[in-house]
Chain A
Amino acid sequence: AQKVTQAQTEISVVEKEDVTLDCVYETRDTTYYLFWYKQPPSGELVFLIRRNSFDEQNEISGRYSWNFQKSTSSFNFTITASQVVDSAVYFCALRLNSGNTPLVFGKGTRLSVIA
């Protein structure tokens, strides 16, 4: 069975600080996808990134960056120079690359960015 663990339940940072959200996953499959979603107070899950298990290249998108390390089964997410608008719950999710398998989510990390 697949499992996603986000050990940090809540994080508070001051605006402009960098913050890293941790994600550790478990699967016996060798091919899978990893995702990060953002959930603002409105409730809608906003897609941020999808990563194929074959692609361990780190990715940067503006102030966001992702560090995928298969050796440690981790897919961490860093926000550089955080802003108040980054305050939300962030979810890491896993989906197998076989059939129409569903997303398996972690419990989320609530990020509060204080002005």
Chain B
Amino acid sequence: DAGVTQSPTHLIKTRGQQVTLRCSPKSGHDTVSWYQQALGQGPQFIFQYYEEEERQRGNFPDRFSGHQFPNYSSELNVNALLLGDSALYLCASSSGLALETQYFGPGTRLLVL
């Protein structure tokens, strides 16, 4: 049973560039949530996708956008990168919009120079 997978594992970008991160949910899951975890902090909710639509959004600017595909996989896009976007980006999957437990992937470490 495959767990949540994310790619790439590490990424280095420069300010102003754009980045796309990818996530495949755990088998049987159809909901994907994205979190940003800055160094030494707890994860912060970015947004959640279900049925290919953004259902909930945290306090993040419009530079952060996403997409969910028919196979439930998801992308997180960040435009006009800032130094402060350097973080571990975690994807979590769950089943439906019910209050099921979220299972996390290994994350993508993004460094913005």
Contact = CB atoms under 8 A, between A and B. Distances in A.
Give the size category of B's interface with A.
Answer: 20 to 34
B102 interface: yes
B106 A42 contact: yes
A105 B43 contact: yes
Interface in A47-77: 47, 50
Give the size category of A's interface with B.
Answer: 20 to 34
A101 B55 CA distance: 10
Contacts of B97: 99-100
B101 interface: yes
Nearest to B3: A44
A97 B99 contact: yes
A52 B35 CA distance: 23
A47 B58 CA distance: 22
Q: Which 10 A-B pairs have the closest CB atoms?
A: A105-B42, A102-B45, A45-B104, A100-B97, A44-B106, A43-B107, A107-B42, A105-B43, A50-B101, A106-B42
Interface of A: 4, 33, 35, 37, 42-47, 50, 91, 93, 95, 97, 99-108
